[in-house]
Structures are given as C-alpha cells and as structure tokens.
Structure 1
Amino acid sequence: MLNFIDQNSSKQLLSGEGWRVGFRGDVDVYKGLVGADSWAIELTESEFKDFCKLTLQLVDTMRVMAIELSDGEKICCTLETEDICLEVNGYPHAFNLHFQLLTGRRSEGFWDEMAVPHLITAIGFFKT
C-alpha cells in the first residue's frame, strides 16, 4: 500500500505496513527518509541515493543467485559505499534487508521479508 506521493511536489512519502521511504528536495541537509513502523531516520541526499542504488543492486543479485541455489538454500549478500552498508539475507524470493550508516549518525535499520517487496517497489518511484 502506497500512502502518499505527489510527483508535482518536492515532498514524496511512501509507506505501508512495516516500511516507509521518502524524499524532500526542498530541504538543505536531510532530504531522504527510510523507516519502518517503529523507527525512521533521515538521510542526506548522497546516503539516500546510495541506499536506493545498493538496494536495487542487491535485489538483482538475489534474482541472479536464484538459479545457482538449491531449493531451500538461503543466501546473504552485502554491498557498501563509504557512507552506508546494506545486507540481504534469506531466500531469493523472500529476504530481509538490513542497513547501517557508517559515518556521522551511525544508525541502522531492518525490514523483514514481508515489507521488503513493497519497499523495493517504492524505491522505484524515486529518481535517484
């Protein structure tokens, strides 16, 4: 479920059960937002772009690995930049996502396998 997006506005927030992601082009420092039901953190534009890019790269990796794994085999993949580290863990068709900010605020967050597909779809709405 997508709660709010206005392509004509500089403010975009998408959310659903267990996830939320947003971007505000009209603020100076913390333009991005990622979170779940009980937590959220604002990200710089660079951190947000890295978050989106790495998430989509990990999704592609999981798709590719699906043909290499036997039935019931789980996999863990990690990607990072100077600012952020993302990790997926689970089956190619159902995995969780964990992130850590590596500089500044040094935060981390987690989405379970039920929220991840919706979060991935929402990331596609943001032009990064």
Structure 2
Amino acid sequence: MIQEEGPGWRLARDFSRDGFPFLIGGELWAVELTEMEMKGLQALLVELDHQHKLICDQLMEEESITLELEQQEWWGCLDGTRDHWGLRVVLQGKGMRSRGLEGAWPAPAAQAFLAALRTVWD
C-alpha cells in the first residue's frame, strides 16, 4: 500500500483491494476509484499541467488563466495564475451503471496532489 497526503489532499494505492484500489481526496471529500478511472484521471491532469507549462511563461505574474479539458469520462479545469492554481475534476457518470463525482484541490494542494499522483502512478 502506498499512501501520500498533505494539507488539503490525499492519495492512496492498495492493489489488495478488489475493484477500487485507488483513493483520492481533498479537504472535506474522498472517493475510491477503479484502476481505469484512475488512469483516465492521471492522463487528464498530466495533460492539463502540460498545457499550463506551455503557456505559463507568456503570463504576467498576476494574470489568471483557466484551462478546461475533457478526456473520456473525465472533465478537468486548471484555474489560477502561472504560479498558483487549483484543479477541479468531474467524473461524468454516463450510463446505467456508471457513477459520477466532483472534486477540487485549491492551490497549493493541487500542485502537491499532482506531484504525488505522478510518483504513485510511476
């Protein structure tokens, strides 16, 4: 089992748990995810971070930016400045047996969560 947490975020991976081996959380929320859901979330957040890095040098210090991205069943938003930004995600429950969720991490929890996500996933 791998567990990481900090102020305003939580991330755990435990492959001994059938069905929902991942847990993500924010200040007042947490949810367990399947491996496929987690792969989708990880891909979405890494791409949002990549897009932010591509344009952050063009932003003035106090200038704000909002990036939105939809991939598979996930929607995500990176919102803030070049140095301080938060993340919002939505798992769009489509279909009879699908579930949905909404979660968010404000700055600086968003940056810490994303760094931990990369570590745990690799």
TM-score normalized by structure 2? 0.87
User: Within 2, Cα distance between the matches of 1:54 and 1:82?
Assistant: 9
What is the Cα-based RMSD across aligned positions, in Å? 1.5
1:110 corresponds, among 98, 104, 108, to 104
User: Within 2, Cα distance between the matches of 1:29 and 1:44?
Assistant: 6
User: Within 2, Cα distance between the matches of 1:56 and 1:14?
Assistant: 18
Counting helix residues as a fraction of each chain, which structure ranks higher? 2
2:77 is aligned to: 87
Contact persistence 2:40–2:72 (CA under 8 A): no
Q: How many residues align?
A: 118
2:60 is aligned to: 70
1:126 is aligned to: 120
Cα deviation for residue 27 of structure 1 reads 2.3
1:26 corresponds, among 16, 36, 43, to 16
Contact persistence 2:61–2:81 (CA under 8 A): no
* Higher deviation after alignment, 39-48 or 74-83: 74-83
Per-residue displacement from partner, 1:22-50 (whole Å, max 9, x unpaired)?
11212221121110131101111111111
Listed as ranges, the gaps of 5+ residues in structure 2 are none
Contact persistence 2:61–2:82 (CA under 8 A): no
User: Within 1, Cα distance between the matches of 2:19 and 2:51?
Assistant: 31
2:7 is aligned to: 17
User: Within 2, Cα distance between the matches of 1:15 and 1:59?
Assistant: 20
Listed as ranges, the gaps of 5+ residues in structure 1 are 1-10
TM-score normalized by structure 1? 0.83
Aligned-residue identity in percent = 26
* Equivalent residue letter for 2:85: F
